[in-house]
Amino acid sequence: MKWTDLVHGCAAAAIIGWTASSSPLKAETPECANLTPSAEGESKVGVRVEPEDLIRLRDIGSIRDFPESPAFSISPDGKMLAFQIRRADPVTNSFCLGMFVVSISPGAKPRQIDSGGAFIRWTSDILGKADFPSGIPKVITPRWSPDGKWIAFLKRVQGLTQVWIASVDGTGSRAITHSDVDVGDFRISPDGRSVVYSSRPALRDEIEDIDKEGVAGFLYDDRFSPVAQKRPIPRPVPTLVTALDIATRVARPATEVEISLLQPNQPPTAPQPISTAQAPSGRKAWISPNEVIPPTTRLIAEMRSGGSIVCHHPECADAGNLVWWTADSRRVRYLRSEGWGQSVTSIYEWTPGPIRPVRLYATDDLLTGCKPLQDNLVCLRESSLRPRHIVLIDPAKGRSTILFDPNRDFGRLMMGRAERMVWKNAIGIETFGDLVYPIAYKPGRTYPLIVVQYQSRGFLRGGTGDEYPIQAFAGRGYAVLSIQRPQAFGYLAHPKSWDEVERLNVDDFSDRRSVLSSIEAGVNLLIDRGIVDGQRVGITGLSDGASTVQFAALNSSMFKAGVMSSCCWERSQAAVLGPTIGRMYRDAGWPSITDKGTDFWPKISFAQNPGRVAFPILMQVSDDEYLAALEGYTALREAGRPVDLFVFPDEHHIKWQPSHRLAVYRRAIAWFDFWLKDIGPDSSILPEDTKRWQDQKHRGLALSRR
C-alpha cells in the first residue's frame, strides 16, 4: 500500500505487559486438536466453500511477505524444517498455535513440539510514534541450535513475549528469557550457548512519563493521532540488546559482536544489500538496490579471478530478494518478477561474466519465504485455488514437490475455477487479475460480479486484508474479479523523489483515475464476453482499495453496491489524523483544512457530495479508524443515501480477531445479496439490520423518482 494509505491506517501504540511468566508444555485443548490435516475434511467432499472454511484455514507465516523474518527454517544438516501453524477459531475468538518440525522428504509427517501461546501482532515505528499495532500477524521464525537438537522461537504467554526453546524430539518446551518487557527479536550464538535478544524497557518509562504529563494536561503536538487514541503516543526509544547464558540463565549486556548478530550481513561493496550469498568456495554475490524511482536492483558477483562484476543483461533487471550459489560455486541463481504486470515469478541462473542468464523455472503461483537448499529452493507456495503450502523446487529439472500441505483437505471442497486475465487500462498501464467463476457456471448466462482488490497473487482468499471471501461469493452464485493494483501513475514521469511520486498521483487524482480505469476495463471485458450482468456489479476494498471504492462512488456509473473496510478521504482528515500526517498530506498536494475555494473535494469527498454517491455503501471499520469515517458517513445518512457503518473493537486497520473476520465475511455476502440480487439476509444477519436495509432501499427508490 502507498504511504498515504498506510498512515491513514495507523493505530494506537501497543500496551506493554509487565509480568514475567514461564510454563511447561501443556496438553492440547480439544478445540486445538486439528492443527495438522486429518480425515476431518472427507465429510465435506463436494460441499461449497463457506466463510467458516476460509476462517479456519491453517496458516504458516503472515498475510504479507517479511523477507527479514522467514516463516520456516532449515536445520543445520539440511534434513528438517521448523515452522509454526496458526489456526483461527471464530467460536472462541482465539487462535490455536503450534510449533512443528518435519523431514525434508515428500509425505513426511510433521511432529508437534510446542503448543499454545497468544497471537502476536506485527508492530512498527512510524512517523515518530513507537509500536503502532496492526492486525497483521507477526512472523514467528524458529531458529535452530547449532547441533540441530532444539529450536528457539518467540511465544506470548500471560501478556508477555519471551524466547522459548523446544526439543526437536518433542520431549518438551520452556521459556528461557524472563524479561519484564516484550522480547522483540533474538538470535542464537554460533556456539549455541547463548541467546541474544532485543527489548525496549525505555518504552515503559515513556508511557509512565506521559501518564505524569496528563496531570496538567497534554500539549497537543506531533505525538497525537486522534483516530488512534486520545493521548500522546510514545516516541521511538533505543533498543536494549541482552545476552543470556542458556545453562546458567545469567543475563548481561551484549557485546558489539553479539549485537551484530541481530544485524544483516553486509558485503563491503554494497552497504545495504537486499540479499547476499556466499558460495562454498567463499565467493560472494548480492542484490543491491539502485537509487532510482521506481526502485530497481543490480545483481553483483565476485569473479574467480578477483574483483566483482555487475550483471547488465536485461534478465538481471529487477532481480528479487533472494540470490544463492550452486553447490559447485560457479553459478548464481536468483528470483525475478517479470511478464505482464510482473505477474510471473521466475528462477534464473547466471554464470558471472558476459554470458546471458538462463531462465530455469517460471510460475504464475506466488513463491514467498524461499530458502536455498544446495542447488534447490524450499518455498512457501500458493496458487489461485490452493492455500499456502511448503514445496521443494528443483529449478534445473523444472520440478516442484510438495513437502507439507497444512490444508490438503481444503481441495475436497467445491470451488469456482479461476482464470488469469491480462489487459491495459485507458493510459496503457498493464493490469492483471483473476476471474473466479460462480459455482455451476453455465455459458450463455450472465452473473452478478464482485470486484475484490488490490492484490491478486497467490491463493484467492479474501483480497488485501482478507475481508471479502472470494470462494464463498462464488458459492453464492457470484463471479468475482480479483484485481492486482496497477503500477502507480506517479512512476510514469520518471520522478526524482517519493514526494514527487505522491504529488503526481494526487494531481487531478491521476492515480485514482488510473486504478479505476483498470477495474472498469476488466469488468467491461467480462461484460463483453457475456459472463457478467453489467447492471449487477459490486466493488470492495480496504486501505488503497477503499480509496478506490470512494472514488468510484463519485466518478463511475458502473457499480451498484460497495463495501469498504476503511473510510474516508474528507476535508477533516488533517484534524482527525493528527499534525504529522496533516503536514504530509499538504506536502503531497492535498488542500489544507482552511482552503475552501478549491475544486479538489468534489472529486473525492462523500461529505461535500453526498447526493452524487452512486451506490449503497457498507462500511466495516476498525475502532481506531472510525473517526475518519464519521464526516462522510454522517453526510450520506443526512442526505438519505443507503449507508451502514459498523465499528469493530480492538482492531487496527486489518482485522485480526476471528469472530470479527467471520462477521465481516457474512455481512459483506448479505449486503451484496440484498442490493445486487434482491435476496433478504439469512439468519446470520440481525432482523433489525434487515429492516434498516429495506428502509434504505425504499428511501433510495423515493429519491430516484424525484
Other Cβ atoms closer than 10 A to 62:
19
First CA to last CA distance, the chain:
41
Alpha helices in 132-231 (DSSP H): 202-213
18: Cβ contacts below 8 Å, ≥ 6 apart: 159, 160, 180, 181, 204
Backbone phi and psi for residue 669, each to the nearest 5 degrees, phi listed first: -60, -45
619 and 629 Cβ atoms separated by less than 8 Å: yes
| Catalytic residue of the set 543, 547, 565, 622 | 543
Q: Is 622 assigned a catalytic role?
A: no
Taking the CA atoms of residue 460, residue 462, residue 465 and residue 468 in that order, the dihedral angle to the nearest 10 degrees is: 150
319 and 296 Cβ atoms separated by less than 8 Å: no
Q: Identify residue 303 by its one-letter amino acid code.
A: M
For every residue of 215-255, DSSP letters joined together read GG----STT--TTT-SSPPPPP-PPEEEEEETTT--EEEPP
501 and 495 Cβ atoms separated by less than 8 Å: yes
Of 80, 234, 93, 69, residue with least CA distance to 153: 69
Give the separation between CA 343 and CA 363, rounded to whole angstroms. Answer: 9
Containing 689, the helix (H) or strand (E) segment is helix 687-704
Q: Strand pairing of 143-144 and 150-157?
A: antiparallel
DSSP state of 310: E
Q: Is 108 exposed, middle or buried (0-12, 13-18, 19+ CB in 10 A)?
A: middle
Q: Is 543 assigned a catalytic role?
A: yes
Phi-psi label, residue 428: left if phi above 0, alpha if psi -120 to 50, beta otherwise: left
DSSP state of 424: E
Using DSSP's 3-state secondary structure scheme, residue 380 falls into: strand
Give the separation between CA 283 and CA 262, rounded to whole angstroms. Answer: 23
Of 528, 524, 578, 591, residue with least CA distance to 556: 524
- The widest CA-to-CA distance across the chain, in whole angstroms, is 82
Backbone phi and psi for residue 622, each to the nearest 5 degrees, phi listed first: -75, 155
187 and 153 Cβ atoms separated by less than 8 Å: no
Of 611, 617, 683, 622, residue with least CA distance to 652: 622
| Catalytic residue of the set 258, 382, 520, 625 | 625
Q: Report residue 232 as a C-alpha cell.
A: 500522546
143 and 188 Cβ atoms separated by less than 8 Å: yes
Q: Report residue 636 as a C-alpha cell.
A: 450520506
Q: Which residues pair with 129 in a beta bridge?
A: 126
Of 542, 548, 547, 544, residue with least CA distance to 565: 542
Q: Is 494 assigned a catalytic role?
A: no
Give the separation between CA 426 and CA 121, rounded to whole angstroms. Answer: 39
Q: Report residue 131 as a C-alpha cell.
A: 509500536
Of 625, 589, 618, 621, residue with least CA distance to 604: 589
Give the separation between CA 261 and CA 333, rounded to whole angstroms. Answer: 26
Sign of CA dihedral 92, 93, 98, 104: positive
Give the separation between CA 361 and CA 377, rounded to whole angstroms. Answer: 11
Of 158, 178, 212, 182, residue with least CA distance to 14: 182
Residues annotated as catalytic (active site), given as ranges: 543, 625, 653
